[in-house]
Amino acid sequence: MRICFVFNPHSGRNRGRPGLATAIREFIAARSLDARLAVTEGPGHATALAREAVHAGAEVVVAVGGDGTMNEVAQGLVNTSAALALVPCGSGNGLALHLGLPRSPLAALELATGAGGRIAAVDTGTANGRPFFNAMGLGFDADVSQRFNRLTRRGLPAYARVAFGALREIRPERCRITCGARTEELEVLLVAVANSDQYGNNARIAPGARVDDGRLDLVAIRPVGLVSAALLVPRLFFGNLDRSPHVFRLSGPTFTIDRVSPRLIHTDGETHAATASVKVVVQPRSLRIIIPHVSRAVAALERPAVVRFALQFP
């Protein structure tokens, strides 16, 4: 088996595409790919399937789902020779958008298995040992993620409604942020640590961030009222959030965030209970991923493996 497709039928837009699994099987058959389709059955299963695929000799594992599916599959591939490919089907798709991956399932499948891409090595991160690949966060960030994950219908409008409701209720918290010899004491609404430049939907929390620079970007938003918060939203989408006086930004390989008490964090949108102290660490170039040949998100790193698929499976 050269390629394993890991399909999450409950992820984002997949709920409205009951025939997508059949389409993938037909895609595999039409191209005579040495591949199999594995369907997830619950939380954590995608990681187990990815690890099984690597053990079976898969060179590419394709995550067909949203950010949660991406996170689980990638966990099984960190520091292995197998490459991750993405067919983004979630409500945000932050890492996929950062890397310039196609939104169309067919185009994404073609990129994952054809000659139109290359393999790049990208950074990953951990927050108290929990892996993340796009972003982690706490405070308002984690609260919104928890509320959003409870919804049955998602998307950007639903996220905006949840965020507005959370903003009216959340209280700022005091935290100490340490990066190397630098320590900052801040009152914050949220703290996000980003690997890519965005949350998803092109909302750029860390404009200019790269996934291959061996660093992570910490962005903290100080307490703001509803009016000031509303004025920050356009900055997210125009890519100049960090120019606001309400925003503190720091870049580095390791951060320690100390809070007054234990509270939630999120990793790629999935929430977890966490201790008062959260340590965030980068793992430089620890994940191989298939991206378009032309991508500004990572440095050029050509590898022959993907082209070989096209030659063997026309």
Query: Do both 153 and 269 map to the same domain?
Result: yes
Query: Do both 62 and 145 map to the same domain?
Result: no
Query: Do both 84 and 214 map to the same domain?
Result: no
pLDDT at 78 over 60: yes
Query: Do both 25 and 73 map to the same domain?
Result: yes
pLDDT at 289 over 90: yes
Say what the pLDDT of residue 307 is: 35
Which CATH number characterizes residue 273's domain? 2.60.200.40
Residue 314: which pLDDT band, with cuts at 50, 70 and 90? very low
Query: Do both 222 and 294 map to the same domain?
Result: no
pLDDT at 283 over 70: yes
Query: Do both 168 and 102 map to the same domain?
Result: no
Rounded average pLDDT over 278-304: 82
Say what the pLDDT of residue 300 is: 55
Residue 15: which pLDDT band, with cuts at 50, 70 and 90? low
| Range(s) of the domain holding residue 66 | 3-124+286-312
pTM of the entire predicted model: 0.89
Say what the pLDDT of residue 12 is: 62
Query: Do both 174 and 245 map to the same domain?
Result: yes
pLDDT at 304 over 50: no
Three-state secondary structure along the chain? CCEEEEECCCCHHHHHCCCHHHHHHHHHHHCCCCEEEEECCCCCHHHHHHHHHHHCCCCEEEEEECHHHHHHHHHCCCCCCCEEEEEECCCCEHHHHHHCCCCCHHHHHHHHHCCCEEEEEEEEEEECCEEECCEEEEEHHHHHHHHHHCCCCCCHHHHHHHHHHHHHHCCCEEEEEEECCEEEEEEECEEEEECCCCCECCCCCCCCCCCCCCCEEEEEECCCCHHHHHHHHHHHHHCCHHHCCCEEEEEECEEEEEECCCEEEEECCEEEEECCEEEEEEEEEEEEEEEECCCCCCCCCCCCHHHHHHHHCC
Query: Do both 245 and 105 map to the same domain?
Result: no
Query: Do both 158 and 182 map to the same domain?
Result: yes
Please state which of the ranges 166-175, 209-218, 280-289 shows the lowest mean pLDDT.
Answer: 166-175
Residue 312: which pLDDT band, with cuts at 50, 70 and 90? very low
Residue-wise pLDDT tens digits, 134-152:
999 999 888 888 887 776 6
Query: Do both 135 and 272 map to the same domain?
Result: yes
pLDDT at 61 over 80: yes
Residue-wise pLDDT tens digits, 204-253:
999 999 999 999 999 999 998 888 888 998 999 999 999 999 999 999 99
Residue 133: which pLDDT band, with cuts at 50, 70 and 90? very high
Say what the pLDDT of residue 260 is: 95
Say what the pLDDT of residue 148 is: 74
Query: Do both 198 and 278 map to the same domain?
Result: yes
- Give the total number of structural domains in the chain: 2
Query: Do both 33 and 78 map to the same domain?
Result: yes
pLDDT at 303 over 60: no
Which CATH number characterizes residue 74's domain? 3.40.50.10330
